[in-house]
């Protein structure tokens, strides 16, 4: 299987990194907006809070729900990647390498890094909002959505790590032995 085929089948492409980066930027804008409004909530008169604050937070919550739906799609795509890897491993009689050019070794750390940054940011915003103790239904919904998104991202992070590990182990098992190194014990293993 060529690297291009494998990486496109697995969903680990440069476009996916771009998608995750766009998702991160959108989420950052939404979370910054929620943070700003939560900080200013204390300064607003009660009538203005009822009108303006809840409207802005509800719009942000709608955007968070859209992001959550996109994460469900990403998770489904990742599950599809698992099935493809398992299919390749089960049907490959020649035991070829899944990722011969180590493309996943380059792309997966980028995806994991971006995902980890998003998780940390979502968690910090959620903690900050919780610490402000604002008793509004819209803020409670925001906290629930942020917790849900954090859990979805953590799940995607661990599944991506596991998939990468499976591919690396499979490829390592079919790697040809190293050349003679001069240490008798190691040379005996490669014989």
Question: For residue range 83-140, what is the model confidence (pLDDT) as tens digits?
Answer: 877 777 777 666 666 666 667 777 788 888 888 888 998 998 899 888 888 888 888 9
Angle at 172 between CA 168 and CA 178, to 5 degrees: 145
Question: For residue range 4-45, what is the model confidence (pLDDT) as tens digits?
Answer: 444 444 555 555 556 666 777 777 788 888 877 777 766 667
Report the predicted TM-score, pTM, of the whole model to 2 decimal places. 0.73
Is it the case that residue 76 has pLDDT exceeding 80? Answer: yes
- So what's the pLDDT on residue 65? 92
Report the C-alpha gap between 129 and 38 in whole angstroms. 7
82, two tokens? 């698992």
Report the C-alpha gap between 7 and 77 in whole angstroms. 13
Count of H helices and E strands in the chain? 7, 0
The CATH class that applies to domain 3-190 reads: mainly alpha
The residue ranges of every structural domain in the chain are 3-190
């Amino acid at each position: 299987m060529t690297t291009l085929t494998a990486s496109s089948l697995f969903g680990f492409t440069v476009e996916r990194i771009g998608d995750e980066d766009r998702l991160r930027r959108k989420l950052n804008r939404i979370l910054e907006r929620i943070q700003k409004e939560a900080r200013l909530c204390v300064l607003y008169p009660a009538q203005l809070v009822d009108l303006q604050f809840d409207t802005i937070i509800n719009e942000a919550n709608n955007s968070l729900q859209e992001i959550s739906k996109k994460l469900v799609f990403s998770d489904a795509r990742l599950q599809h990647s698992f099935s493809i890897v398992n299919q390749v491993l089960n049907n490959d009689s020649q035991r070829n390498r899944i990722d011969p050019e180590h493309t996943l070794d380059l792309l997966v750390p980028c995806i994991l890094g971006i995902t980890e940054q998003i998780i940390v940011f979502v968690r910090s915003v959620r903690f900050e909002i919780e610490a402000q103790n604002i008793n509004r239904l819209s803020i409670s919904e925001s906290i629930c959505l942020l917790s849900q998104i954090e859990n979805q991202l953590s799940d995607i992070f661990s599944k991506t790590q596991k998939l990468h590990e499976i591919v690396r182990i499979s490829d390592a098992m079919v790697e040809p032995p190293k050349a003679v190194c001069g240490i008798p014990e190691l040379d005996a293993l490669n014989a």
